[in-house]
Structure 1
Amino acid sequence: MFSYIVNMNMVAFAIVNVPVSIASILMNIFFAYCMIFSQKGPVNSIKPLLNVLLWSLIGCNLILNILNLLFVFFDFVEWVPWIHILSEAGILFAMWTGFTASLALNVCYYFQIVPVRRPCLTWMKKHIRLFVYLALFVDRLFFLSEFLVRVIWDISAMNLNSTRGHVNITSETTDLGIDILSHIDFWIRCCYFLLCLGIMLASSSATVVYLRNHIKRMEENGSSFSALRKKQQMKVTVLGMIQGVLYFLASGWLMTEELLAYFVAFKDQHGHLICTVMALYSLGTTILLGVGQANFCLMAKNIGRKLQTLKCPLP
């Protein structure tokens, strides 16, 4: 079988990933601060479903970038193999669950903005909390089990390689069972990826098309349409388009790597390439989160005013 190995230089990996991950971590810590202290007033209160999704996305971004910094650290020091295995599996867990949180957030915005008429969509909108909570639960249960299987599998393979001289016929049977399970797991993830990608593209496209047509109709009919409201809807449209593109590129890259590894023995040496792509995706998602959430922007403006007051005290 044809095999191809990609090896990203560890210096280049560090130069790109360290500032990107540090910036993402600091911004997400600030978002967590905003989430905690914005609950005190009714003006900045966040709806429970949105609260859960934002915490989920912030948590996934923090886990991914903290583990990514550990990967950079592992390149320059001697590390314990099982810690590397745990970190790699943790990054994959944060990647996929972060994708699901972004998808659920996008779907919620779709149901808030776009009026639905079909019975199935009407039912989903009515029970959106149950639908999202169930999706998050199943998603995390599936990828947590995959996290455990990946860790046990990699540690077992590491121990097997170190004791290769003692392998007998039983190990061949075990390897065959693991191989079958890996094939099943791969195709389940492929189906999951295609389903999530289709939902993301459909909800993002429908939201963009609806807002574009809505703004156009309001302008043609001469209806009262404030500049502020138009600006807000245009902002939602642009952010939705960018989030959809980021989701498509990052999840598509991840699935392409897995397909190549499955069919042509493609290997990303040390996982540098995929970690870099995910770190950049996380930074992009974090920036969109900060721009799109009004309470984050308001908190940042308030902190900016306080800092400006401290720097320029009144006489």
Structure 2
Amino acid sequence: MSSFCFISINGPLIVLTLVANVFFVFCLMTHKMQRVKEPLKTLLGSVVSSTIFYLFCVTSMYCVTIWVKSLVVLWTFDYVVLFGVLVNMTSYVWLMFYYYIMIVPSQRALIRWVKKNIKSVIYVMLFGDRLLFLGNAAYEITNILDTPYSNGTGLALQAIQIVELSILNGYILLCLCVMMFSSFATAHYLSKHMKSLAASDGSLFNPRLRSQIRVTITGILQGVLYLLFGLWYTANVLCMYLPPCVTLGFYIRYTATTLYISITTLNLWVGQTLFRERAVHVWKAVKKHVCTGKEDLRPAEDTLTTAATIQSTGVDTDG
């Protein structure tokens, strides 16, 4: 892929995705969002911050490598970017796991314990993610920056690298299983719940149910996207380290990754009522200001109610 094609495809995606995520940051920092229960706010913040981190690193890498023609610099940036991508992937996994725990009732002792201690469980998983991915990035960057090794040392490091890659890819596979289980288990429960409501003449259009269905659908779509991107990433890694050591160009890899990040951002906007309601409110305020010349940025009475709902339930429930 040429530099022109890379800029033509990634430039608009990066700009649009960055604008969307800066808007998400604005939403997360508003007064209404201060009442959102943890760990939901931390999970949303993790997805958004890792996206911004990735976009910043990719843009910086492209700008730096225009002037610095060094494979060492390029590979160092590559592993820093990979850290941001992996954090983004697993943060969305634990977001869907959180929704599964909060939406689906269960009498199993383990699930009840997890629900009771959901905040601690999520924090531990997020910390473990970052520790694993940071260790991987630090190890790979150290190998790049160090001087060449003797044959014996090189073989030992190669063995360590194989173990490290096995652990990393095994964890990515585990997260995929958690993602798919959480999404489909939630979908199965909501399907039964809707049939029960229909049989009892209950409302199928209440805001809470609509929001839960929307979150579940976007979770399933994100799981499919995670699967496709995870398979592509694993195949790329295997091609790099197994004979004949073939690898895709950096531009192709980052284009695929940017596309994944952009779709994830779109999924987050569709699935989270918090962001959609704020976007609608801002649009109405801007439209009113343009049409009448009067600015009114105060939240409308009939919008931005989701934060208060989440405060009591811990789940994005409004439609």
CA distance in 2, matches of 1:76, 1:139: 32
2:118 equivalent to 1:128:
yes
Which of 214, 217, 227 in structure 2 is aligned with 1:235?
214
Aligned letter for 2:255?
A: T
* 2:259 partner letter: L
Aligned to 2:223: 244
Give the structure with the larger helix fraction.
Answer: 1
Cα distance in 2 for partners of 1:220, 1:312 equals: 48
Q: Is the 8 A contact 1:18 1:72 kept in 2?
A: no
Contact preservation (8 Å) 2:39, 2:119: yes
Query: Displacement of 1:251 after TM fit?
Result: 1.9
Alignment identity in percent? Answer: 27
Change (3 A) 1:137 1:265: farther
Query: What corresponds to 1:306 in structure 2?
Result: 285
CA shift, 1:202, in A, is 0.8
Aligned runs of 1:97-136 on 2, under 5 Å? 97-136=87-126
CA distances 1:192-243 after superposition (whole Å, capped 9, x unpaired) = 1221111111111111111122112211221244454443343223212212
CA distance in 2 between counterparts of 1:131 and 1:237 reads: 21
Whether the 8 Å contact between 1:10 and 1:75 is mirrored in structure 2 is no
Task: Identify the structure with bigger relative contact order (alpha carbons < 8 Å, sequence gap 6+).
Answer: 1
Mapped partners of 1:115, 1:255: distance in 2: 35
Deviation at 1:314, TM superposition (A): 6.8
20, 31, 35: which one aligns with 2:13: 20
Are 1:41 and 2:20 counterparts? no
CA contact (8 A) 2:211 2:273 kept: no
| Corresponding residue for residue 258 of structure 1 | 237
Contact 1:96 1:143 in 2 (8 A): yes
Query: TM-score, with normalisation over the residues of structure 2?
Result: 0.85
- Structure 1 residue 248: deviation in Å? 1.5
Residue 88 to residue 268, structure 1, CA distance change in 2 (3 Å): same
Q: Which amino acid aligns with 1:130?
A: S
Aligned residue runs from structure 1 range 1-315, under 5 A: 8-37=1-30, 40-41=31-32, 45-74=35-64, 76-156=66-146, 159-160=147-148, 171-313=150-292
Conserved in 1, the CA contact under 8 Å of 2:239 and 2:247?
A: no
Local SS of the residue matching 1:48: coil
- State whether residues 193 and 255 of structure 1, in contact with CA within 8 Å, keep that contact through their aligned partners in structure 2: no
The offset of 1:269, in angstroms, is: 4.0
Deviations 1:100-125 (A, max 9, x none): 10111000010111111222222222
1:143–1:237 distance in 2 versus 1, CA, 3 Å: closer
Distance 2:205 2:243 in 1: 56
Question: Could you state the TM-score of these two structures normalised by the residue count of structure 1?
Answer: 0.86
Counterparts of 2:243 and 2:73, CA distance in 1: 28
